[in-house]
Structure 1
């Protein structure tokens, strides 16, 4: 697909503080390399065609539908036509969904796209203009409705296998407090009171990613916050727990689909 030269890419972050990340963006052609988040990426195409590789096939998101990308699923993003595409997206930590569902396996939408009107309605409060602020209680209500709707629309068949949600949550909280250290599975096992392999299994089922990937994303979140403050990339990388700046950059591209420099350009360019 060719690209019109008059189309300028941009990404805008919601400025009001909330429990979730909200963005609105426009891309005239290629947007993101293959990458994966440890969050749900739930969004809506506002105009154009948003095309992306997901679970072995090319998907095409059109206005009127809902995108629901599961944590840790690889995807990319590009315009499906020369007109480009504009969209809004929210990124929700599986831990927030778990606090509502209470330790059940995470809801899953197989194709990453849904035309279900219940899901469209449930996402509407969180996918409105990012210039609109959200009250804390309003956001909590919307997250509750969305989690319940995801579970229904996803048709989740809960197995009888028992997960130790409190133990996994203790490990998750420890990671947040110590992400810049060299955390081991044995250490998490001791903190959680759960044997290492049962903890690893439960963590994946309950939070959608492995303990190591969860640590990596907390480090990258720290780096993004420090980058916005104008701090030096090399120092940020070491402080976050990466071996050096190159290590951080490789992980940044792998998990966000763009380089740190390009990401900063998007954020500061609008």
Structure 2
């Protein structure tokens, strides 16, 4: 993976995986506007100081620690010094963590920063090289280690303990099976067999976000795939289920902290 010098911002994506997105990036100053996504964002600062607002405070990530941003928590990103910062991070769906935890409330790392050595080791295992495809069995094994490390580092789970994992997973599966259609909360109630408010609470506890935002994220993932394949913004938006390009651009920026056009421009600077 060829990386440019530090005279400009850049972003590089690892070879795609069906289970997570892995990136390396460099920013000289402002990185991302306030945004939130429905995945965990877990990674490490490689050089410089990575500063970000998270849960009403300014945090500073230095090399040697682990960043763990919980799904649906608003955050931004900027360089803490004039030297800029370089980092690697992975974005992993909470459903993959739930495959290991089996229905516990999602682990939460207070402050978004951890110095737990087991968590750092598990994260490094998934991020040590972005130039090669992870072996599927190695990837599954590493995800298991990551989930267990999150559980230990997070301590006592926040949120309710009594959740209906089976019903919530039925609703999540229904979303994936019918994503090209309009999906209502009543549809999810019927698919899950759970009343709407219990389902909404359980879905948030297990997957870190609401059913509506989960659907939006899946459509944004489809839009990014189409943009990378060379589709124009308007076509990618409409074929991913958005009303128009403006609708997709607004939600893209709210979710990823940068516009689709800037995201594509940074990728093309590799």
TM range (shorter): over 0.9
Structure 1 residues 163 and 246: CA distance shift in structure 2, 3 A: same
**Structure-1 residue corresponding to 2:221:** 221
CA RMSD of aligned residues (A): 1.5
Give the gaps of 5 or more residues in structure 1.
1-5
Bigger shift: residues 211-220 or 260-269: 260-269
CA distance in 1, matches of 2:141, 2:156: 22
**Structure-2 residue corresponding to 1:3:** none
- Whether 1:42 aligns to 2:36 is no
Structure 1 residues 200 and 85: CA distance shift in structure 2, 3 A: same
> Shift of residue 120 of structure 1?
1.0
**Structure-2 residue corresponding to 1:15:** 15
CA distance in 2, matches of 1:204, 1:252: 21
Report if aligned partners of 2:171, 2:192 keep a CA contact under 8 Å in 1.
yes
Count of paired positions: 266
Aligned ranges 1:1-270 → 2 under 5 Å: 7-157=7-157, 161-270=161-270
Structure 1, residues 60-87: CA drift from partner, whole Å, max 9, x if none? 0000000000000000111101111000
**Structure-1 residue corresponding to 2:3:** none
Bigger shift: residues 236-245 or 84-93: 236-245
TM-score normalised by L of structure 2:
0.95
CA distance in 1, matches of 2:90, 2:248: 24
Bigger shift: residues 158-167 or 57-66: 158-167
Report if aligned partners of 2:15, 2:132 keep a CA contact under 8 Å in 1.
no
CA distance in 1, matches of 2:166, 2:225: 29
Partner SS, residue 188 of structure 1: helix
CA distance in 2, matches of 1:186, 1:65: 43
TM-score normalised by L of structure 1:
0.95
Structure 1, residues 166-213: CA drift from partner, whole Å, max 9, x if none? 111111111122223221100100011111111111100000000000
CA distance in 2, matches of 1:160, 1:56: 23
Structure 1 residues 170 and 49: CA distance shift in structure 2, 3 A: same
CA distance in 2, matches of 1:258, 1:219: 17
Bigger shift: residues 76-85 or 120-129: 120-129
Structure 1 residues 172 and 160: CA distance shift in structure 2, 3 A: closer
Structure 1 residues 160 and 82: CA distance shift in structure 2, 3 A: closer
Give the gaps of 5 or more residues in structure 2.
1-5
> Shift of residue 137 of structure 1?
0.6
> Shift of residue 159 of structure 1?
7.2
Structure 1 residues 78 and 160: CA distance shift in structure 2, 3 A: closer
Structure 1 residues 254 and 76: CA distance shift in structure 2, 3 A: same
